[in-house]
Amino acid sequence: MDIQRNNFNFIPNVLFEILTKHRTKSINRIKKIYHEEQAIDDFFDFLIKKEYGIFVNSLGNFPKMDIGYQSPSLITNAIIETDRYSQHNYDNIFAQLSNVNCVAVEMRFYDFIVLQDLIKIVNQTYDSTFRTINIFLPYSVEYEQDTMKEFLLQNARVQHLIIYDAPQFIFTTEEQNSSCLEYVPYTMDGRCGNVSPHYFRANREMLCESIKWNNCLNRKVCICKDGNIRNCTSMVQQFGNIETCDLKHVITQKTFTKLWNINKDKISVCHDCEFRYMCHDCRAFIKDSNNIYSKPLNCKYNPYETIWN
Ligand code: SF4
C-alpha cells in the first residue's frame, strides 16, 4: 500500500519477504541469501523509482512504523437518515453525537428538503465536534449548481454534497475550501456493500484501523429515519431511539460493539486477499447470512486466482 499517495502496487512475495524478514540486512547480505544479484538490484531499482526508499548506512533513524489505531472519539462517524416523515430533534442528535466526540457525519435525505431548512439544520451543528459533513440530496431543479456552490462556500464543514437521481453526471470542486459538489445519475439504493478498486482507500488511517477493527462498522452509529439507533442503515437490529436513549450508554454496550471486532483477517476469503487493508468491509450484505464471518456479498474478486469475475 502506498499510503501517502492513496495507491497500491503489486509486488512479488519474495520482495515482501526481503522487506520484512530481511529488513535489517544489507543489500550484499540479501544477495548472498538469494544467490540472485540482478533480481535483487531490480527490486531495489523499483523501490527507488517509486520513491519508496533511499539507501542509508544505518537504520537508526528509521524505526518500524507504528500501526496501532487510536482515536479520542467513542464514535468517529455517523449517518443520519431523514425522510418526509422524520421527526428528528437535530439539536438532541448533534449534542449526543458531540458527547461521544463524533467527527464525521453523513446526512442522507430521501425526500426533497427546502434549501433554507437544510441550512437551518447545518447551522445547528455550529457548536458540534463535527469536522466534516457529507450530504446526500435527491435531485431537484431547485438545487442548481450556482446555488449549491454558494451553499458549500457558506458552510465550510460540508465537504461533499451529492445530488443523486440527477439527469447527468457533474463533478466540481471548490478551490476555496476543497469541497466537492457532485450530481450523480444513480439512486441511493444499493450504496452499501459495493466492492471495487474504485472504493479502495490506501491511507494510514484505513490501514491501521483495518488491521485491528472492522473498517466499516468500528465506531460508527446510524440514526435512522424514525430515530432508531443501529450499527448501519442496512442492518435490522435496533438499539433504542435517539429521542429516548442516552447514545453514549447505547454505543458502549457489548451488543452494539460486537461487530466492531470483525477485522478483515477474521473474514473468510478476505483474510487471504491482498486488498484486505484498503477494502471497505460490509457485514450487512454477506455471502452466507448464517455466518457473520463470510465474505461480503457484492465482492466479485477471487484472491486465489487474482481475477475480478
Ligand atoms: S476478497 Fe474481501 S478484501 Fe478482497 S476485494 Fe473482496 S471483499 Fe475486499
Find, among 84, 83, 80, 71, the residue nearest to 230 by Cα: 80
- Local confidence band at 120 (pLDDT 50, 70, 90 cut-offs): very high
> How close is the Cα of 251 to the center of ligand 1, in Å?
27
Find, among 145, 213, 140, the residue nearest to 174 by Cα: 145
> How close is the Cα of 275 to the center of ligand 1, in Å?
6
> Are the C-beta atoms of residues 174 and 153 closer than 8 Å to each other?
yes
> How close is the Cα of 157 to the center of ligand 1, in Å?
32
C-alpha cell at 154: 457558506
Task: Say how far apart CA 244 and CA 239 lie, in whole Å.
Answer: 11
> Are the C-beta atoms of residues 275 and 200 closer than 8 Å to each other?
yes
Pocket of ligand 1 (CB under 6 A): 195, 264, 269-270, 273, 275-276, 279, 295-296, 299, 301, 303
Burial of 95 (0-12, 13-18, 19+ CB in 10 A): middle
Element containing residue 82 per DSSP (H, E) = strand 77-82
Cα separation values, 60 from 20, 64, 142, Å = 16, 10, 60
Task: Say how far apart CA 228 and CA 241 lie, in whole Å.
Answer: 4
Of 279, 297, 302, the residue with max ligand 1 atoms within 8 A of its CB, to mutate for a pocket test, comes to: 279
Task: Say how far apart CA 288 and CA 57 lie, in whole Å.
Answer: 52
**pTM here?**
0.91
What pLDDT is stored for residue 190 in this prediction?
66
- Local confidence band at 176 (pLDDT 50, 70, 90 cut-offs): confident
Task: Say how far apart CA 138 and CA 235 lie, in whole Å.
Answer: 22
| Largest pairwise CA distance in the chain | 71
- Local confidence band at 9 (pLDDT 50, 70, 90 cut-offs): very high
Across 3-12, 29-38, 181-190, 224-233, least confident range: 181-190
